[in-house]
Structure 1
């Protein structure tokens, strides 16, 4: 069994057995009503040396979170039969990865964002060889980083910030020369916290 396969087996076991923590890092009063539902995919790539997480660098021209590192995903559309379908559709639109090439492992609790979205993250293993085709109007770049450091809760910095008069905690870390922060880092921290030994 390769290191990546060992990591995946451990991740599956702990992820399925442990109850996720609620996300209380964004005060509900900062959200517009009704909340905009959205979903993202946390894509895992199997490598011999270990699991990797596929991330995107958002286009600097986007309205929400331009130039930030994120997961593929977006707003729930009426034609999506579920939030999982939203995450898969958006991943296909942004990176060219078809839904049949993703094996969903489960989901994390919804995350509230300061921009008024309730985002449900889904964890998925990419099952086919990667042939990424980033949509240039949405994705400036796509890259992968090792999963193992992202699962170390102590590796995350936490900074208190005030937005719209509400106190919040912003998570972040630097990995492979990339600053991963905000909602993306918070979702990864939550995953790390859920499966921590």
Structure 2
């Protein structure tokens, strides 16, 4: 079970947040094909601890060389000095949106997933208090928004699209929330977590 930390006020009565934490920690991730990427990366999935919890997502700057304008979780490639992939996810979240690592209560990780750029990405799930201020890095982040968990975990929101690339077939998922278009690896990660907690 999660140890309560001063910076994350977990509700004592049953709530959507408490139910999510319980289901996430009690369910094993579904078995999937092992990721093949040779380079390591990690993203933080920040769960904002409102009474009705939300996912914190970013829209990447249009000026970036890769994945410009796409909706993403904060994250990136592991540095040689990183002590773990959890450290990588927390470091990147601090750099991109200003969340201090000590203000994140990590509750687990999801199965690794391959990115289109050859990385093996580890999603790290962490709880963040709504009182933690955000300081998005203007060079990397164009927008920050929150997606309610009850919306994110509605599996009917995700539409599969099979594409062919380099002689192989790949399935990508597409979804929308208000004016935000969520697709690719970000949608796949959210859908993976939704499947895990709905078992």
Give the Cα separation in 2 of the matches to 1:162 and 1:148.
Answer: 32
The number of residues matched between the two structures is 189
Q: Cα distance 1:23–1:61, how it changes in 2: closer, same or farther (>3 A)?
A: farther
Is 2:164 the counterpart of 1:162?
yes
Partner of 1:95: 97
Matched residue SS, 1:148: helix
SS at match of 2:116: coil
User: Partner of 2:182 in structure 1?
Assistant: 180
Q: Distance in 1 between matches of 2:188 and 2:78?
A: 21
Structure 1 segments, 4+ long, off by >6 Å, are: none
Q: 1:9 aligns with which of 2, 18, 27?
A: 18
Moved more, 93-102 or 10-19: 10-19
Match of 1:112 among 99, 114, 117: 114
169-178 vs 122-131, greater mean Cα deviation:
122-131
Contact 1:25 1:168 in 2 (8 A): no
1:130 corresponds in structure 2 to 132
The alpha-carbon distance between structure 1 residues 175 and 128, as it changes in their structure 2 partners (threshold 3 A), is closer
- CA 1:24 to 1:6, structure 2 compared with 1: closer, same or farther past 3 Å? same
**Conserved? CA contact 1:101–1:128, under 8 Å:** no
Secondary structure (helix, strand or coil) at the match of 1:10 reads helix
Instruction: Tell me the equivalent position of 1:46.
Output: 49
> Do the aligned partners of 1:39 and 1:121 also contact (CA within 8 Å) in 2?
yes
Deviation at 1:36, TM superposition (A): 1.3
